[in-house]
A and B are shown apart, each in its own frame.
Chain A
Amino acid sequence: MAADAGAFEAGPPGRRARLRLSGLLWRRPWLKALGLLTPPLAVFVIVYIGALSVLFVSSFWTVNAFTAAIEHTWTLANYRLIFSSGQPYLHIAALTLEIAAAVTLTDAVLAFPLAYFMARLAGGRTRAILFVMVLLPLWSSYLVRVYAWQAMLSHDGAINWWLNKLGLPDQNLAYTNWAMWIVFSYVWLPFMVLPVYAGLERIPDSYLEASADLGARGFKTLRSVILPLALPGLVAGSIFTFSLTLGDYITPLLVGGPSSQFIGNVVYDFVGINANVPFAAAFATIPLLIMGAYLLIARRLGAFEAL
């Protein structure tokens, strides 16, 4: 102790202060935790919760049609407009929700066999190659991939060319909701593959052996052992695919048809025109509520243990 004190006295003042601080932090661990956590927590509260609060509060205001200034009188007018019949907004929200659900289901069906193969059957080299192939699209711009699909889906694009080669008639896929479904399913697939892979990889081999020893065939093992254990991974992946689709507005713009408005498009248009942030905010709370409900269900299904 005396030697320690001597060290404190000996160094230059800057070094002495630093040593004293580290000593203090060692004696009081909670102080260390506070120092480490305060900056990220402050950012989280101010940026994240703050932004959401602004969004929510402003959704009860209106905007002056003349000056685009926000008028701070509390009103439910924005919500009334969204929910009144004859308005398109519920229909738009329903379309967004339907496509998001369809994309999630499609990705789950596509990702499961691939992830299963990667996690349990493939050798190290094959697995590495598959990983690179799953992740490779993420290194290119999202926009480039959507434009590539726009070209492929058009009436003289790659898809119709192949259909013709196979002797099948042309399909009018470009600028339809089908096109949105295909493109979304493609761009978000990696976000489903990875959590499902992580979930499948964690299943111990002994479980499968035990299942076989007890006389279960492949399908029975899949249904009773693998699927229940992989479910958290599937749900975790679905959180990504569902929320990413729910919030998108570029794909509907580029490959959607005349009736392919998403919640995001309406929000974007209302902010641009007359800077009607309040209405956009009110409409944006709908996906927020949907996601909130979805996350609650996902937590019940154990998704957060697979993240």
Chain B
Amino acid sequence: MRIRKKYVLSAVLLAAVVAAFAVPAASVQAGSGLPTKIGKGEGRLNVIQWPAYTDKSFAKKFEQQTGCIIHRKTAGSSNEMFSLMHGSGGGGGGGANGYDLVSASGDASLRLIYARDVKPINIHLIPSWKNFLPAFKSPPHNTINGVHYGVSVQWGPNTLIYNTKKVKQAPKNWSLIYSKKYAGHVTVPNNPIQIADAALYLMQTRPSLGIKDPYELTLKQLTAAGALLARQKPLLKRYWVYEADEIQSFQNGDVWIGAGWPYQTLQLQKAKAPIKEVVPLPTTGWADTWMLARRAAHPNCAYMWMKYVTTPQVEAKQALVFGETPVNPKACPYMNKIKKGSCAGYHLNEPASYYQKIKFWKTPVPTCGWKKGNGCMDYNAWQQAWARITG
């Protein structure tokens, strides 16, 4: 009798556990029933953000104007951002834990869309959108079949940072982080999306592989990129995870050259370190999107924020706080007003051909980027390849 009772208890437990996970997998639906106007603010806005993406210097005015008080959760990586919005299991997600907006980068945005954590928005409620650079109006990392899952906000190239005392000549391409010249003093991000950087490098150096898009790799191409990165590993001082780690490694001279973002360069130059950066084209880059949670409790405040943050003045302010480039070229004069020459410095005045040479982050998917293709390696395979490289 006692034993049976025990079994009954574990069976009940098991059933409860199974039930908790048994949420039907639903497919993504095209948007319908989008709001046609922004209603009254709900007084509160909960965001998952990159550091400084709702910086007080420009968010304060928004709070005063709309009465939407911003509550922030700052993420350190795209994975953390995805985890926060998706929740850890099958059930929750979609902002069930209270989030309204997420400032997702391209390597997380498609994952959020296909995990049904975010929902389509009515892009026409964001007036600045029609002024955006063409590359960011309907980019493949946030727009699927014409359905907008958020509004682009800022972007930046991945840059090659170097110590001018150790690297005398400005690098012309990315080969230095794959060559033995600075062995033991190189750093790259600890992020599977780094495979795309290797793939982009192989596009130029080994055309026979036939890589057309660094985020759409066949098994053979992924293996080749993995082999390049495995050869790179002995040259590295470390993989960096948080911006502060890379900044510190450059500052104390442990690292001489590596891949990073304009943000790190700006911080290092502010600290008077002998640091410069170049953007050898073609390169990878990131572009961030404010995305609306499927279960957002404060959608009006969320729309108001998307509307506010894409206006030229705010775009300019945010760009200079974080060290990135607006998607709205009308921000150019405002940038120059805050800091002379910054519009050109951040490449906001480049011709369209420039943007075509930056391959923006997007989540690798088996269908090869929504082209109804097949045979591409998905992000899980990328993650496993990355674990093999770094393990």
Contacts and interface: CB of A to CB of B under 8 A. Distances in A.
A274 B379 contact: yes
A70 B387 contact: no
A89 B245 CA distance: 26
Given A68-B115, A88-B387, A269 B380 contact: no
Residue among B28, B83, B89, B383 with max Cβ neighbours from chain A (10 Å): B383
B365 interface: yes
Nearest to B232: A258
Interface stretch (A58-66, A196-204, A226-234, A284-292): A58-66
Interface string B20-36: 11110111100000000
Contacts, number: 145
Contact of A266 (B17, B28, B116, B387): B387
Contact of A157 (B190, B236, B252): B252
B355 interface: no
Query: Interface size class for chain A?
Result: 35 or more
B263 to A, nearest CB: 19
Residue among A156, A259, A268 with max Cβ neighbours from chain B (10 Å): A259
Given A69-B25, A277-B88, A277-B89, A49 B13 contact: yes
A272 B77 contact: yes
Contact of A258 (B89, B241, B390): B390
Interface residues of B, number: 57
B119 to A, nearest CB: 15
A92 B379 CA distance: 21
Nearest to A55: B17
Given A70-B90, A92-B391, A261-B391, A155 B254 contact: yes
A68 B111 contact: yes
Interface of A: 45, 49-50, 53-54, 57-58, 61, 63-72, 81, 87-89, 91-92, 150-151, 154-157, 172, 174-175, 253-254, 256-259, 261, 266, 268-277
A89 B391 contact: yes
B286 interface: no
A64 to B, nearest CB: 6
B388 interface: yes
B21 A70 contact: yes
A275 B13 contact: no
A250 B21 CA distance: 29
B79 interface: yes
Contact of B115 (A50, A87, A174, A275): A275
B44 interface: no
Contacts of A258: 233-234, 236-239, 390
Contacts of B95: none
Given A68-B114, A70-B89, A258-B238, A275 B17 contact: no
A5 B26 CA distance: 66
A72 B22 contact: yes
